Structure 1
Amino acid sequence: MRKNAILFGIGFLIFLGACSSERNTFTNRAFHNLTAHFNAYYLADVKIREVQNQVENNYKEDYTQVLPVFIPIDSATIQQNKAMLDSARELSSKAIDWHRISKWVDDSYFLIGKIDYLQAHVDDSKNAFRYVNSQSKDKDLRHQALISLLRLYIDQKTYEDANFTIDYLSKETEISEENRYELFKTLAYYYESRADQSGVIGALDRATTYAKDKKELSRIHFILAQRYQREGLDALAYDYYKRSLEGNPPYERSFYATLYAQQVAELNASKDLRKVRNYYEDLYKDPKNKDLKDVVVYEQALFEEKQGDIPLTLKLLHQAAKEPGSNPRLKGYIYQKLADLNLSEFKDYRATKYYLDSALTFIKEGDPIAAKINDQKATLDQFVFHVERLQKNDSLIFLAALGGEEQRKRAEAFLASEEERLIKEAALKNQPKNTSIFDNLLAFSGKTSGSSFYFDNSAAMQQGTIEFSRTWGNRPLQDNWRRRSALFQTSGQTSPQASKMDSASQKEDAALAGLPSVESLLNAIPNTPEQLQVANSEMEESYFELGKLLYFDLKETKMSIDNLETLIRNYPNTSKKPEAYYMLYLGQKELNGNADFYANRLNREFPSSPYTYSVNNPDAASGNLAYLESSKRYEQAYDAYYRGDFEAAKGIIRSTLAEFPLTRNTEKLLLLDAMVTGKLDSRIAFRTKLEEFIQNSKELELTDLAKKMLQPLLSQEELAALKEEKFTQPDSSQLETAPIADVKKTEVPADSPYKVNESQTHIFVIALTPSEVEAAKNLLGDLENFHAQAFSNARLRTGNMNMNQENSIYIISPFSNSERALEYYKKFSEEFKSTGLSQQAKSKAFFISIENFQTLNKTKNLEEYLLFFRSLYL
């Protein structure tokens, strides 16, 4: 007994010695290797793989588009599995802390890097992979770390680092087959990121040599087939589509592979249209494809488009939009295709806009296609708004000219036509329903229950709704027996028949709710002078805005001329006349029309307008150089005005407007010209200049200043009439010095690395120090609320990143040009508030073009860019 106790004690002491993480003995190492591997590393690795599998399983492949090389990491799935990843991190950390002499320490660091990568902790992930690469003696593990680091660089589009890593790996020897597979896939991802089609194909082709998983190999073959098909290499595409059917792929991929293989092999080249259409019809009828009917019809529509049959293409696209499907994004592509056809074939901007609206309901906001659609839709939204406002106001003004009795007759006739339309639409939807056993019996006599039972007959229900409304008005359908039966029903008990009747009543009420009443129609008619003035003002604005949109954005010069000429004809006293004349001049010149007619009108009616200067001097400089030069001239003119040399100021102003007629300084020059007139000419001339400026100015601050200047020149009666505008009496110092605040700017340094590109996409940036970030904890949420209230239709996105150790930046995007960004900047400066965000921090905000942001991201010199920004834009 004593001997056993001694042996047990000796064994226990050996075990305790082996548990030490400091003693580097054979027994100690063996114990820690075993424990670290199976008690920590293995369990952590299993948890990470489980999360990665969930990401792949939750991802919905869009086979109508070229599949991505790597399945994107879904942040929502990662967040849902946070507890599992935290557990994996804890296990990996224990393997490092508790088993420091084991050979699994570096592997555990690599797992921590993978966890950080999944959770988008970019800097921590980089550090972990770099540590493994520099410290590990395991060549395979170092290669894994480098390949993971390469993927991270590609994610961030830091291609210089990526190129260096690729170059390093290309010189490495003895890379395992598993690592070679991951390396070539990552290289394909690199070329995909850089839109290098040949590079992607070459890298994926090499990856297939080392692929072990048959399902993965099937997916790669499908991607290769898609890319070969888009390159026009149909034979290769066909071969790879066939290969993708191997390895037991999901049914949906098999369906697309078979469909596309048939296309590249036969359908696209076949001249037997009946055979092709029969093929699509067979696919449509196949029960296995019940969730892919929209795909079949969509592909047939694309085939018919290639045959040049646009009416049939449109018909099939409309059918595809109604068919069931498993991929919601496909509906977005269908509506986008409808939009493209309506734009290219019919120039129907209104239909294009609404189809694009429908497309966006099926495409996620972060999708690159969504950004493209939003850019395309921005102009169309404005176009449709003004077209519909013109149509509406034109009809209302016409009705306003009629007598009250005639107005009522027309309102009633309109409602009657709407009722008739609703009945016809309901009749089209009325399809027999085989929901009863009696349908089989009635079929022998040519009758079905669907055509006779009231609640199965949409047309009868619609007609009943309208008749009920005519007799009783808009009220719920409830008669005496129903009210009495309701008294006897206990809480929570409803008879099936009553439920069915209630449901039918709700449907009828819902259908009826869409019809306006006669009174509501009559109330919309502008019957008072004030209402007519508002309607006409809106039409005047819409004709002008349509003219601009059609000329500058939609390139429809003839339509632009029609709208602008209508504006001048219907509203001869419009304040937009000088600019309208100028656009008509440009339009006629483009169409080789009578441009001189509008040039003469500008010279005769508006000799001092900047548009007149521009017409008379067509070779005048423009752009940023013109802006900088005109800024210098403006400052010279103002200095001359300030020292009392009004003639010199007048000469500088006139020569500047002649040489640089349309810049951001034009309105300041025109206001200063009016001030000079006030010193040199009569009060009447001064007043005329100010009134002309107020009518045509687009700068609100300058317009307000001009109104204040005008106030002392008005009579008591005119002042009383303008009291509603709440003019405040300006002091002389304000009149004399206000414009100069806008001018005293620092010139752009000649060696500035930044370029002016006002038409490029811009982003808005808020730069904060770490302490300011800590204080403004609610900044992102407050920005989202601000956008929802002030820019609800702009689809702005917010995000943040670290620029360097001193600054974090919050980014709002996108803005299509500098003008849109400037509008946001002004509203942000005046209205945005966030707890903890100081005024000093707000003052450092700026906007910047994408090209300049890339430069800033390299230099990290915020002060250098702020000097450029303030010189040009403030």
Structure 2
Amino acid sequence: MRINQHLTCSVNLQLLLFAAFASLISGCSQYSTGRLSVGYHNLNAKFNAYVIARDKMREAEMSMRKNRKEDYNQILPLLSPLDSLEAQPVNDLLQDVIKKASLVPDRHQNSKWVDNAYVLIGKARLYKGQFTDGIETLRYVNAKGRDEEDKHEGLIWLMRAYVETKDYNSALSVAEYLRSQPLNDKNTRDYYLVKAYLHQQKQEYTLSLAILEETFDLLPKGEETARIHFSAAQMYDLLEKPQLANVHYKAVFRNRPSYDLSFFANMNALQNDALTNANLSTESGFKRMLNDRKNSDLRDRLYYSMGVIETRKKKYPAAIRFFEESVRQTTTNTGQVPYTYLEMAKVYYDKLQNYELAKAYFDSSLALLPKTSPQFQKITERKEVLDEFVKQLTTIRTEDSLQRLSQMNPAALEKFLDGVIEKEQEDRERKVKEAQKLVEQARTLNANALNTFNGDPADRFILTDPIALSQGKVEFKQRWGNRPLEDDWRRSSKVATLLTQADNIAPVSSGQRSMAAASGKDTQILTKDSPEWKARRDALYRNIPLRKQELDASNQRMEDAYYKLGKIYKFSLIEPENAVKIFMTALERFPTTNYKPEIYYLLFLTDQKGKQEGWKTKLLEEFPNSSYTRLLTKVNGSIAATGNLELEALKDYEKILTLYQNANYSEAFAQLEMAIVTYSGSKVEDKYALLRIYLLGKLQGREAYLKALNGFIKDFPTSPLLPRVREVLEAQQSASIKKNG
């Protein structure tokens, strides 16, 4: 009896417990708002999904930070750009972040971690380069989120996504909204950083720095903060404020920087010290760093900085020597070389006006520079200009030299050509001796290296193996000779050079075998008055314009070159004084040139020494029916009464604007300069002037851009475009974070 009662009680208890458990489970629905249900889902959402996803995100970000390769030749972005290629090694981790974080909205809708999970998903998609999906996810957080701080975090990442996609207007709209929100400390810090990053990407460095100065107190000590200080210092350097830059370079050392970051901060600070202290020599400041063995693979960067210092001190020969030493000191890391070549090109181009050498170094820089570099497009445009410039300059010099030779008497000319051939012979013999010497040096080096290297030769990596490098240099010199720095260095014959087939020398064995050209022909020493000597002299003769039709053709080539060179000076290089000189020379040497009416018109536009009316009079008197005369008539407003001037001005503006939008800046500027004079006084004159400002910014840089903006305010005080110009100027010159957000 008692046994049956116990069994009955036990069954009833089990049923009761089962019912209670079933009631508990049914009450823990993710859509329930009960305290027990919410607590259950908060616990599971946090520890079974969100925390795991968050930790994987931290692991992925740490790995990307560790593997990041910084380019210290560029201004470091305040925040590392969201690069899908950089994220590829951690793609699995990011996919796990999305998978784990997605469990929260899928299974725990009533938990407080839903918004956090969506933010993580949005960040992961941005890192993976899925910007459309990432932006939609972050916008969803703002629209449907329940926690204001989480919504603010999502908006900050949304603003950053807009910056990465260069949708700056949308980023500014988000920033303006966040500015009025009560942000917590973490979101305030992140907001300021992204806002500063936004203005840095827009090249509004003054405003970016103003925001940063209010942000540094909020940043924890660490390598990322050191990196932000370094970026701020670089921006101060760009604004030519070395003292303020050095404040931040020194702050780098207080934030546990990496070795590379501390090296470049120290080097740049020394560079500023050398620029601001006239008594401090360039070499003395860098001596300790050059002697430090830890910097052996960074010596090229040190010499590069020394060259920059000498450039700013206007000691250009010394700067070139340091740049050349930088190239010689390059080891396995060749990333610095294109920037060194670029600085050398700028010195030759801007300071020494040696355009041939500038072209050569621009070519070399462009060949090695990453296409993702911000300078790549600008260098490409300048290279195209210099290619054409050097082509025309070479034509003028070549034709002028050949014409002078044509005026020599036959005996003197023959003697001159014999001298050219003798010079070729001397060069050939010198190169053969150099090749033999290099072979002997390589053989000695090989013997010494084999005695000291005990491992398998196949284990040696060629770029770090001095033996392999030496052999490569020897083989190159043997085959190609001492090639100058220029395009198309492989060519065995080049116009207007004294290089001959002897430049291509085949390998020498034991000093016994004869040198052979790459073409397979033996390089023989020519004997004077031998058939080979005479054949070479005849080949040189054929280039000289001795007959009338040859001289006429030479003159026509020179005439065309002068005309084109003047236009390059005028429209591409923006050197009006040189343009006037070339145009004047063209008129003096070729008084009957077919280009005369256009040259008159261009001189009218260019000559600023009170001679404009004289060129205008010449054009009107000598070429009354020329199209360029009609352009001057337009300027005087003779067709304004017909109503066609405004229509033509607008049509031409659209054409030039299209060139600008297609990044064809040089051609756009050339056409714009003519159009501004042609349509002076029209209703769209201010639009032409503003477009010219944008082009100056692209072609001549920030200083010319700011100067032109100020000029616009003076020249067009009633223009409807004036508020826009003032807004741009304020953005450039503002130094108050309170005023500008």
Structure 1 residue corresponding to 2:653, chosen from 730, 734, 756: 756
Identify if the C-alpha distance between structure 1 residues 596 and 249 changes in structure 2 by more than 3 Å, giving closer, same or farther.
Answer: closer
Aligned letter for 2:231? I
Q: Deviations over 1:246-298 (max 9, x none)?
A: 3431111111222334455577325153xx52332332121111121122112
Aligned letter for 2:565? L
The answer on 1:125 being equivalent to 2:127 is no
Between the aligned partners of 2:170 and 2:476, the Cα distance in structure 1 is: 71
Equivalence for 1:169: 178
1:44 Cα offset (Å) = 3.6
The aligned runs of 1:659-738 (5 Å cut-off) are none
1:596 Cα offset (Å) = 4.9
Equivalence for 1:361: 367
Equivalence for 1:211: 219
Structure 2 residue corresponding to 1:290, chosen from 290, 296, 300: 296
Between the aligned partners of 2:480 and 2:138, the Cα distance in structure 1 is: 73
1:554 Cα offset (Å) = 3.6
Aligned letter for 1:219? R
User: Contact between 1:461 and 1:508, CA under 8 Å: does it hold in 2?
Assistant: no
Q: Deviations over 1:6-52 (max 9, x none)?
A: 79977985797588545555665455444443444344434444443
1:358 Cα offset (Å) = 2.6
The aligned runs of 1:432-831 (5 Å cut-off) are 435=445, 525=543, 537-554=556-573, 556=575, 559-560=578-579, 563-564=582-583, 567=586, 574-583=593-602, 590-591=608-609, 596=614, 599-600=617-618, 603-604=621-622, 606-612=623-629, 620-621=636-637, 629=644, 756=653, 762=659, 813-816=663-666, 818=668
Equivalence for 1:774: none
Between the aligned partners of 1:627 and 1:78, the Cα distance in structure 2 is: 63
Between the aligned partners of 1:87 and 1:244, the Cα distance in structure 2 is: 35
User: Contact between 1:762 and 1:816, CA under 8 Å: does it hold in 2?
Assistant: no
1:545 Cα offset (Å) = 0.9
User: Contact between 2:428 and 2:502, CA under 8 Å: does it hold in 1?
Assistant: no
Structure 2 residue corresponding to 1:144, chosen from 131, 153, 174: 153
Moved more, 376-385 or 302-311: 302-311
Between the aligned partners of 1:131 and 1:455, the Cα distance in structure 2 is: 62
User: Contact between 2:42 and 2:113, CA under 8 Å: does it hold in 1?
Assistant: yes
Equivalence for 1:89: 98
1:354 Cα offset (Å) = 2.4
Q: Deviations over 1:36-76 (max 9, x none)?
A: 43444344434444443444344332334443211122232
Q: SS of the residue aligned with 2:307?
A: helix
Aligned letter for 1:629? N
Identify if the C-alpha distance between structure 1 residues 428 and 565 changes in structure 2 by more than 3 Å, giving closer, same or farther.
Answer: farther
Equivalence for 1:382: 388
Structure 2 residue corresponding to 1:317, chosen from 305, 314, 323: 323
TM-score (structure 2 length as normaliser): 0.66
Between the aligned partners of 1:163 and 1:268, the Cα distance in structure 2 is: 37
User: Contact between 1:393 and 1:539, CA under 8 Å: does it hold in 2?
Assistant: yes
Between the aligned partners of 2:318 and 2:217, the Cα distance in structure 1 is: 45
The answer on 1:101 being equivalent to 2:110 is yes
Moved more, 177-186 or 203-212: 203-212
Between the aligned partners of 2:86 and 2:131, the Cα distance in structure 1 is: 18
Between the aligned partners of 1:531 and 1:10, the Cα distance in structure 2 is: 112
Identify if the C-alpha distance between structure 1 residues 597 and 24 changes in structure 2 by more than 3 Å, giving closer, same or farther.
Answer: closer
The Cα RMSD (Å) is 5.6
Equivalence for 1:254: 262
User: Contact between 1:301 and 1:316, CA under 8 Å: does it hold in 2?
Assistant: yes
User: Contact between 2:481 and 2:503, CA under 8 Å: does it hold in 1?
Assistant: no
Aligned letter for 2:190? E
* Structure 2 residues not aligned, in runs of 5+: 1-6, 452-465, 483-500, 525-531, 673-689, 695-741
Equivalence for 1:336: 342
1:318 Cα offset (Å) = 1.8
The answer on 1:41 being equivalent to 2:57 is no
Aligned letter for 2:149? D
Equivalence for 1:112: 121
Between the aligned partners of 1:475 and 1:311, the Cα distance in structure 2 is: 32
Equivalence for 2:488: none
1:427 Cα offset (Å) = 9.1
Q: SS of the residue aligned with 2:215?
A: helix
User: Contact between 2:116 and 2:150, CA under 8 Å: does it hold in 1?
Assistant: yes
Aligned letter for 1:620? N
Q: SS of the residue aligned with 1:290?
A: helix
User: Contact between 1:763 and 1:850, CA under 8 Å: does it hold in 2?
Assistant: no
Identify if the C-alpha distance between structure 1 residues 355 and 761 changes in structure 2 by more than 3 Å, giving closer, same or farther.
Answer: farther
Between the aligned partners of 2:152 and 2:166, the Cα distance in structure 1 is: 21
Between the aligned partners of 1:123 and 1:105, the Cα distance in structure 2 is: 21
Identify if the C-alpha distance between structure 1 residues 199 and 612 changes in structure 2 by more than 3 Å, giving closer, same or farther.
Answer: closer
* Structure 1 residues not aligned, in runs of 5+: 442-449, 467-471, 479-499, 633-662, 665-746, 749-754, 765-811, 823-847, 853-874
Which structure has more RCO (C-alpha within 8 Å, separation ≥ 6)? 2
Between the aligned partners of 1:265 and 1:415, the Cα distance in structure 2 is: 49
Equivalence for 1:243: 251
Identify if the C-alpha distance between structure 1 residues 92 and 401 changes in structure 2 by more than 3 Å, giving closer, same or farther.
Answer: farther
Q: SS of the residue aligned with 1:435?
A: helix
Equivalence for 1:70: 79
Q: SS of the residue aligned with 1:365?
A: coil
Q: Deviations over 1:563-620 (max 9, x none)?
A: 5466567666653343234445666x5456798589558734x4422334567x5952
1:144 Cα offset (Å) = 0.8
1:180 Cα offset (Å) = 2.7
Between the aligned partners of 1:311 and 1:627, the Cα distance in structure 2 is: 59
User: Contact between 1:763 and 1:821, CA under 8 Å: does it hold in 2?
Assistant: no
Q: How many residues align?
A: 618
Aligned letter for 2:367? T
Q: SS of the residue aligned with 1:354?
A: helix
Aligned letter for 2:561? S
1:352 Cα offset (Å) = 2.2
1:169 Cα offset (Å) = 3.4
1:548 Cα offset (Å) = 2.1
Aligned letter for 2:364? S
Aligned letter for 2:253? L
Between the aligned partners of 2:235 and 2:362, the Cα distance in structure 1 is: 27
Identify if the C-alpha distance between structure 1 residues 566 and 422 changes in structure 2 by more than 3 Å, giving closer, same or farther.
Answer: farther
Identify if the C-alpha distance between structure 1 residues 398 and 19 changes in structure 2 by more than 3 Å, giving closer, same or farther.
Answer: farther
1:204 Cα offset (Å) = 2.6
Identify if the C-alpha distance between structure 1 residues 565 and 191 changes in structure 2 by more than 3 Å, giving closer, same or farther.
Answer: closer
Q: Deviations over 1:715-741 (max 9, x none)?
A: xxxxxxxxxxxxxxxxxxxxxxxxxxx
The answer on 1:184 being equivalent to 2:192 is yes
1:311 Cα offset (Å) = 1.9
Identify if the C-alpha distance between structure 1 residues 428 and 49 changes in structure 2 by more than 3 Å, giving closer, same or farther.
Answer: farther
Equivalence for 1:698: none
The answer on 1:135 being equivalent to 2:141 is no
Moved more, 351-360 or 231-240: 231-240
Q: Deviations over 1:442-482 (max 9, x none)?
A: xxxxxxxx9xxx9899699859999xxxxx9999979xxxx
Between the aligned partners of 1:234 and 1:122, the Cα distance in structure 2 is: 38
1:192 Cα offset (Å) = 2.5
Between the aligned partners of 2:298 and 2:56, the Cα distance in structure 1 is: 35
Between the aligned partners of 2:593 and 2:289, the Cα distance in structure 1 is: 61
1:137 Cα offset (Å) = 2.8
